[in-house]
Amino acid sequence: MLKKFLFYFVCIMAIFHCQAQNKKLLISPLRGFDNFYVYTTYQNVGNVLYPSNSMYLITKDGVVMFDTPWDTTQFQPLLDSIKIKHNKKVIMCISTHHHDDRTIGLEFLRGNGIKTLSSKLTLELCKKYNEKQAQYVFNNDTIFNVGGYKFEVYYPGEGHSKDNIVIWFPKQKLLYGGCFIKSTEANNLGNMDEVNVEKWKISALNLLEKYPNPEMIIPGHFIWNKKALKHTIKLLKKYENNK
């Protein structure tokens, strides 16, 4: 009994130590959603640390990641933290579009025996822009069943990028939007390199019609709540009106 207590005590101390020492990786349990975690890494953008949200799900078969860390120094610390916290290995990772805040860790994960996936369009754009590539591809609208959890990837149309997909968990009514969806903290549309605002607005309205009442929405950057999609539509309309 004492040995068991000491083992768990050491594990907890190790987690606290990692969190105290590693300010570049923040892992947050998603309140109200058992086994879902948002993890945030950072990059320096214009001399400001800019957060990037990704997510992982604990299943009975292992851990599923949705997008990769943006900070290349956090690939191994993330895997180590997951192992310490949950005593499970990451078994797969799905990237939601081709930009490096979603894909830069794919090669590392593949090298660690983790199955990496993206849409076919994302793979094509990764090749075009010399981004890291997933090992496997799927058609845009695909249903997955992993370790007792069901989720679907859905392509609403062009948005933040030409290839951005979202991931919907029907039982939990949880929408992982990635960079297609802007946080309610955002006051602009961010990186506009690939953006056609009119198409993004149509795509966002398509998404709202398909999943009208999510309990939670995880955007690619900054805080998450269930109002983020409607906020994104407001930003898109505001941009068009001010154009």
**Is 101 one of the catalytic residues?**
yes
Active-site pick, 67, 98, 99, 221: 99
Dist. CA 211–CA 166, nearest whole Å? 11
Which residues have a Cβ under 8 Å from the Cβ of 1 and sit 6 or more positions away? none
Per the CB < 8 A criterion, the answer to whether 62 and 198 are in contact is no
HSE-CB for 109 with a 13 A CA cutoff:
31
Active-site pick, 101, 163, 164, 231: 101
Tokens standing for residue 137: 């591809």
Strand order in the sheet with 136-138: 25-29, 36-45, 48-59, 62-66, 90-94, 115-119, 136-138
**Is 231 one of the catalytic residues?**
no
- Count of Cβ atoms closer than 10 Å to residue 229 Cβ: 24
- Count of Cβ atoms closer than 10 Å to residue 132 Cβ: 20
**Is 242 one of the catalytic residues?**
no
Active-site pick, 71, 97, 98, 164: 97
Which residues have a Cβ under 8 Å from the Cβ of 95 and sit 6 or more positions away? 67, 68, 102, 103, 106, 116, 117, 118, 122, 134
Written as one string, the DSSP assignment of 227-240 is THHHHHHHHHHHHH
Active-site pick, 53, 71, 98, 160: 160
Catalytically active residues, by annotation: 97, 99, 101, 160, 191
